[in-house]
Amino acid sequence: MINIEPVILFHLFGIPVPDFVVVIWGVMAAVLVFVFFATRRLQAVPRGAQNVAELMMGFFEDLVKDMMGEPGLMFFPLIATIGIFTLLLNLAGIIPFVDAPTARLETTFALGIMVFVVSHGYAIKRKGLGTYLKGYIDPYVFMLPLNIIGELGKLLSHSFRLYGNMFGGLVMTFVFYQLVPWVVPGVLNVWFGVFVGVIQSLVFTMLAVAYIQVLAE
């Protein structure tokens, strides 16, 4: 059943906890357990879990280094977290009876706001408030509203793209579930979860780096 309103499972300290947040906690717990085992016996020649962890970190490190150069490594932890977080949340949709948490606007918009604040904050810190604000009336003064809308548009399109892909995939599998239960939706769900999920997570991460970089210089 696809519901737009969040399904509140229980209240924690008076704060309602919807179902997709519990799934996010599950994913976080799984990552913690994996990292715990990956870093038990650190060897020079990595094997098994440690190898996988190093591959992931290496991938995101190269991604950041290619796009932002050496000073950009300051954002490596943030970008690696966004990358792994969105990747695992997209893949969490494959588990039967578990909807991908990124198929909800709350999750993706929260990530989008995070990237928005980081990119603008870093631009202000690096260029100083004056030049940052002057950037909005770049070619001509009357470009001000356009530039502001452009910036907000980036935030909206960034988070809406991930949400739209995963939500569309969810509804497609739900529609097929009505027609042919348990055969076609399984394959479709894996397709939307894996192929679309991995690419959208990569696009989300690379755009996050691009937004930070384009505002910084």
Partner 1 sequence: MTDVTFWGYVIIISAVAIGSGLAMIAGIGPGIGEGYAAGKAIEAVARQPEAENKIRTYLILGDAIAESTGIYSLAISLFLILTFARPLFNLILAR
Nearer to partner 1, 2 or 184 (CB): 2
Alpha helices for the chain (secondary structure H): 19-38, 49-68, 76-92, 105-134, 144-179, 184-191, 197-216
Nearer to partner 1, 119 or 159 (CB): 159
Minimum CB separation from partner 1 for residue 65, in Å?
Answer: 17
Nearer to partner 1, 38 or 115 (CB): 115
Minimum CB separation from partner 1 for residue 209, in Å?
Answer: 12
Nearer to partner 1, 50 or 189 (CB): 189
Minimum CB separation from partner 1 for residue 116, in Å?
Answer: 17
Nearest to residue 154, comparing CAs of 196, 104, 204? 204
Minimum CB separation from partner 1 for residue 30, in Å?
Answer: 26
Minimum CB separation from partner 1 for residue 9, in Å?
Answer: 21
Residues near partner 1, by CB under 8 A = 2, 4, 157, 160-161, 163-165, 167-168, 171, 199-200, 202-203, 206-207
3-state secondary structure (DSSP) of residue 138: coil
- Angle at which helix 76-92 crosses helix 197-216, to 10 degrees, equals 160
Torsion angle of C-alpha atoms 192, 198, 49, 111, degrees rounded to 10? -110
Q: How far apart are CA 146 and CA 179, in angstroms?
A: 46
Output Rg (C-alpha) for the chain, integer angstroms: 20
Nearer to partner 1, 30 or 171 (CB): 171
